[in-house]
Amino acid sequence: MPNYTERFQSNIKTSKIGSKRTIVSEQRNVEAVRRIYQLTNQGDVPSVLKMMSDDVELFLFGSSRVPWAGHWRGRQGAEQFLITMGKAGEVKDISDVLVGAGDLVIAVHRPTVRVRATGRDGDFNCVHVWTFRDGLVVRMREYADTAAWEAAFDESI
Contact assessment for residue 107 and residue 113, using Cβ atoms and an 8 Å cutoff: no
Higher pLDDT, 46 or 9: 46
Consecutive H or E run containing 128: strand 126-133
Query: Does the 4-153 domain belong in CATH 3.40.50.720?
Result: no
Contact assessment for residue 154 and residue 65, using Cβ atoms and an 8 Å cutoff: yes
DSSP-derived pairing of the beta strands 52-60 and 136-144: parallel
Contact assessment for residue 125 and residue 144, using Cβ atoms and an 8 Å cutoff: yes
Q: Which pLDDT tens digit goes with each residue over 12-50?
A: 344 455 555 667 788 999 999 999 998 988 889 999 999
Q: What is the pLDDT of residue 152?
A: 79
Residues of the chain with pLDDT > 90, as a percent, come to 45
Q: What is the pLDDT of residue 10?
A: 41
Domain segments of the chain: what residues? Answer: 4-153
Q: What is the pLDDT of residue 95?
A: 67
Work out the average pLDDT over 45-60.
97
Closest to 136 in 3D by CA, of 96, 106, 103: 103
Closest to 71 in 3D by CA, of 53, 58, 56, 84: 58
Q: What is the pLDDT of residue 80?
A: 97
Give the integer Cα–Cα distance in Å for 147 and 22: 37
Q: What is the pLDDT of residue 7?
A: 42
Q: Which pLDDT tens digit goes with each residue over 72-108?
A: 999 999 999 999 988 988 887 676 789 999 999 999 9
Does the pTM of the predicted model rise above 0.95? no
